[in-house]
């Protein structure tokens, strides 16, 4: 159901614009309030009269009314909406969105929208598979926009292939599911550790590792997108805030991370340990830069506290704890052992020698292991999509009380 949801429907110049009439009707039937913004080219394919009648709202196209000069505020529209859906989205509009071009009301509304943006492309198959379009769609996804993939079939050109805008029924179902997911962690407090830790040797040197923080930040974004209040305890990384709703607690060393995570933990519903925490630190740190000499330099290393294991001992029955395991040899057995030793509910295994997985890449391939030896394998995907899979699995565990 979309009762009370405020939707901006953006319509661009495409044969599929006729489907926007059906889409509007379905959205209204589901209880949504729909305001339509159409591009000048969109009006060549469907008339504002039809759309205004179906949406029960004036259809906006120009920056201002030519009759009385009244201003159509794209900023107010962007603030008003719960979601902006651009369907059909032509290759031209997608390219302009990806490049910040603002030469019509739909595009200025897009650029000032505070709400999630969903794009349903519609175009000829060659335009859809052109590298420029593919790159633009990836750019939109990197902005956090959602893409509803076009389907394959007969196209306006008479050709057959991928480029048909998804059917209005499917787009409506997508939105219903989206709003359901958007609030499924609302009120839940989540702790996530992410990134590497740096263990100081002297003022200029440290022991670190290759974690970029991408996996943990993707998890933080996904949880926040689904209504959770996220505390992200992050080692030194160079990525920006994943979502304004995420509170970042920057730390440097494993001791700092331990302290921040332990303080937050008692109040958390779910804790996820995605950080690559240094297992050892130098027993002492030099306050001045260690000078080069001809002799060997021996560093004495002492163990850091295992944060996940410590919090696993302190946990309550109601909390959900999820660890990661980064393994090279005997991966599944080692990960299963960590699951049990650290008293976790789930462990996410990624392998160092698996191409495209683990440290410092944009993709990952994971196996999730639950109690009772339940194993679930996932394909190589972007870390954003891996995060969605992990969050779905945690949601199932939360709802069902067990992992199956």
The DSSP element (H or E) to which 394 belongs, if any, is helix 383-400
Q: Residue 29 or 337: which CB sits closer to ligand PMT?
A: 337
Q: Pick from 16, 251, 326, 391 the residue near ligand PMT by CB under 6 A.
A: 326
Number of chain residues interacting with ligand PMT (CB under 6 A): 27
Residue 276: phi and psi, rounded to 5, are: -100, 90
Q: Is 190 in the site for ligand PMT (CB under 6 A)?
A: no
CB 54 within 8 A of CB 25: yes
CB 290 within 8 A of CB 201: yes
Residue 6: phi and psi, rounded to 5, are: -100, 120
Q: Is 226 helix (H, G, I), strand (E, B) or coil?
A: coil
Q: Is 174 in the site for ligand PMT (CB under 6 A)?
A: no
User: With 0-12 CB in 10 A as exposed, 13-18 as middle and 19+ as buried, what is 67?
Assistant: exposed
Q: Is 395 helix (H, G, I), strand (E, B) or coil?
A: helix
Least Å from the CB of residue 145 to ligand PMT: 22
Q: Pick from 13, 78, 163, 358 the residue near ligand PMT by CB under 6 A.
A: 358
Q: Is 276 in the site for ligand PMT (CB under 6 A)?
A: yes
Interacting span for ligand PMT (CB under 6 A) from 71-79, 115-123, 301-309, 388-396? 301-309
Q: Is 198 in the site for ligand PMT (CB under 6 A)?
A: no
Q: Rg of the chain's alpha carbons, rounded to an integer? A: 25
Q: Residue 104 or 350: which CB sits closer to ligand PMT?
A: 350
Interacting span for ligand PMT (CB under 6 A) from 100-108, 125-133, 148-156, 357-365? 357-365
d(CA 5, CA 122): 24
Residue 137: phi and psi, rounded to 5, are: -70, -40
Q: Is 199 in the site for ligand PMT (CB under 6 A)?
A: no
| Residue 273 bridge partners (DSSP) | 193, 323
Q: Is 279 in the site for ligand PMT (CB under 6 A)?
A: yes
Nearest Cα neighbor of 20 from 7, 5, 31 is 7
Q: Residue 7 or 325: which CB sits closer to ligand PMT?
A: 325
Q: Is 253 in the site for ligand PMT (CB under 6 A)?
A: no
Q: Pick from 323, 368, 370, 382 the residue near ligand PMT by CB under 6 A.
A: 323
Q: Residue 167 or 269: which CB sits closer to ligand PMT?
A: 269
d(CA 337, CA 329): 13
Least Å from the CB of residue 380 to ligand PMT: 13
d(CA 316, CA 233): 21
Query: Using omega within 30 degrees of 0 as the cis cutoff, is the peptide bond preceding 223 cis?
Result: no
| Residue 123 bridge partners (DSSP) | none
Least Å from the CB of residue 279 to ligand PMT: 6
Q: Residue 115 or 239: which CB sits closer to ligand PMT?
A: 239
d(CA 394, CA 274): 14
Q: Residue 81 or 326: which CB sits closer to ligand PMT?
A: 326
- Strand 229-234 relative to strand 280-282, pairing: unpaired
Least Å from the CB of residue 326 to ligand PMT: 4
Q: Is 10 in the site for ligand PMT (CB under 6 A)?
A: no
Q: Is 317 helix (H, G, I), strand (E, B) or coil?
A: coil
Set 57, 72, 209, 396: catalytic member: 209
Q: Is 350 in the site for ligand PMT (CB under 6 A)?
A: yes
Q: Residue 111 or 248: which CB sits closer to ligand PMT?
A: 248
- Known catalytic membership, residue 209: yes
Active site residues: 209
Q: Which residues bind ligand PMT (CB under 6 A)?
A: 193, 195, 211-215, 254, 273-277, 279, 304, 306-308, 323-326, 338, 350, 358-360
């Amino acid at each position: 159901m979309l009762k009370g949801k405020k939707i901006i429907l953006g319509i661009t110049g495409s044969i599929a614009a006729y489907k926007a009439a059906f889409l509007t009707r379905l959205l209204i039937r589901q209880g949504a309030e729909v305001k339509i913004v159409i591009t000048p080219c969109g009006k060549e394919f469907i008339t504002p009269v039809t759309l205004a009648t179906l949406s029960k709202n004036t259809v906006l196209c120009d920056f201002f009314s030519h009759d009385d000069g009244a201003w159509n505020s794209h900023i107010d529209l962007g603030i008003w909406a719960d979601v902006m859906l651009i369907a059909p989205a032509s290759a031209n509009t997608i390219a302009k969105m990806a490049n910040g071009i603002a030469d019509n009301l739909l595009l200025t509304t897009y650029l000032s929208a505070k709400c999630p943006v969903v794009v349903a492309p519609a175009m000829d198959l060659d335009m859809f598979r052109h590298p420029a379009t593919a790159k633009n769609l990836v750019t939109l996804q990197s902005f956090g926009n959602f893409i509803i993939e076009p389907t394959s079939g007969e196209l306006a050109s008479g050709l057959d292939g991928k480029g048909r805008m998804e059917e209005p029924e499917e787009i409506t179902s997508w939105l219903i599911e989206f709003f359901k997911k958007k609030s499924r962690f609302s009120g839940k407090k989540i702790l996530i550790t992410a990134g590497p830790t740096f263990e100081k040797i002297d003022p200029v040197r440290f022991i670190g590792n290759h974690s970029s923080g991408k996996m943990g930040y993707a998890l933080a974004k996904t949880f926040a997108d689904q209504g959770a209040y996220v505390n992200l305890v992050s080692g030194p990384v160079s990525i920006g805030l994943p979502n304004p709703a995420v509170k970042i607690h920057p730390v440097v060393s494993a001791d700092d991370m331990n302290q921040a995570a332990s303080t937050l933990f008692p109040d958390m519903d779910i804790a996820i340990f995605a950080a690559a925490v240094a297992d050892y630190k130098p027993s002492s740190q030099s306050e001045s830069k260690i000078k080069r000499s001809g002799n060997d330099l021996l560093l004495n290393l002492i163990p850091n506290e295992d944060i996940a294991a410590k919090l696993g001992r302190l946990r309550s029955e109601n909390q959900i704890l999820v660890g990661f395991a980064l393994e090279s040899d005997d991966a599944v057995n080692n990960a299963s052992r960590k699951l049990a030793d650290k008293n976790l509910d789930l462990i996410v295994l990624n392998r160092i020698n698996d191409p495209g997985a683990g440290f410092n890449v944009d993709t990952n391939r994971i196996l999730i292991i639950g109690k009772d030896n339940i194993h679930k394998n996932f394909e190589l995907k972007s870390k954003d999509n891996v995060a969605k899979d992990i969050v779905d699995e945690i949601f199932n565990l939360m709802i069902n009380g067990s992992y199956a």
